Amino acid sequence: MQFRLFSFALIILNCMDYGHCQASRWRRSKRASYGPNPICKGCLSCSKDNGCIRCQHKLFFFLRREGMRQYGECLHSCPSGYYGLRTPDMNRCSRCRIENCDSCFSRDFCTKCKTGFYSHRGRCFRGCPPGFAALEELMECVEGCEVGQWSEWGTCSRNNKTCGFKWGLETRTRQIVKKPAKDTIPCPTIAESRRCKMAMRHCPGGRRPTKTKDKKKKKKNLMERAQKQHSIFLATDKTSQ
C-alpha cells in the first residue's frame, strides 16, 4: 500500500514538473516569436494576434491598421495625422479631424498642414483668407497689408501741363491703413494711372507745341523739294527737244 502511494506521488510530481516545463517553454517560445518584431515593446499586456492591449504609463496606445488586420502598438509620440490624448485610464493616439492636416495639437486645432496648404488659426487652406498674406517659409497665413479706398481720379495732365496735348495721364491713390506683420510681405499698389483725353488740346494764348511746327516745316520742305525737282525735269525736257 505504501509503495502504491509513493508511486502515485512520483507520478503527480512528474506531471507538475512537466507542466511547469511546458509552460516555461511556451512562454520562452512566445517571447522569442516577438523578439524580431517589436510589436509588444512598451506593453503592459500583449496579445499574440492583436499586439499591445495596454501600454506603459508614459506611452501612447496606437491602433495600427494594415489591410484587414489591426494591432496595437505603444509609442512615445503619435504618427502623422494623430495627436496624443492623455487620460487617467490610458494614453491614446486620436486621429486629427481637420482636413488636410499633417499633425495637430487637439482634435480641432492643426499645428502643421500637409504640403501645399497654409496654416491659419488651426485650419488648413489652399490660399490665405482675405486680409491675410502667405508666409512661404512657414506655410502660414499672417496679417497682411491693409489699404484704404481709392481716391477720385486726378486731373488729366502731361509733362505737368493740363493743355497743349491731345492725350495725357490721370492718377488715383490710396493710403496704407495697417502695415503687414512681416516686412517681407508686400503691400498692394497704392497708386495707379490710366490714359486720358485732355479737356483742352491747345493752351489759351499760348503757342502751338514745337512738334506741330516741326511737322509743318517738314511738310513745307517736301513741297519745295518736289517743286524744285519738277522744275529741273521741265528744263531737261526742253533741252532734249
For Cα atoms 127, 129, 130, give the angle at the middle one, nearest 5 degrees: 125
For Cα atoms 193, 196, 201, give the angle at the middle one, nearest 5 degrees: 135
pLDDT at 206: 59
What does the chain come to in residues? 241
- Beta carbons of 60 and 84 less than 8 angstroms apart: yes
Nearest to 101 by CA among 121, 79, 123: 123
Predicted TM-score (pTM) of this structure = 0.40
- Beta carbons of 93 and 79 less than 8 angstroms apart: yes
pLDDT at 166: 86
pLDDT at 207: 59
pLDDT at 177: 81
pLDDT at 145: 79
pLDDT at 121: 85
pLDDT at 192: 92
The tens place of each residue's pLDDT in the chain, 241 residues long, gives 444 444 444 444 444 444 444 444 334 333 333 444 456 788 888 877 788 888 888 899 988 888 788 888 899 888 888 888 888 888 888 888 888 888 888 888 888 888 889 988 888 998 888 878 888 878 888 877 778 899 999 999 988 888 888 899 999 999 888 877 777 677 888 899 999 988 887 887 655 555 566 677 777 777 777 777 667 656 665 555 5
Domains of the chain: 36-95 (2.10.220.10), 99-143 (2.10.220.10), 146-205+219-240 (2.20.100)
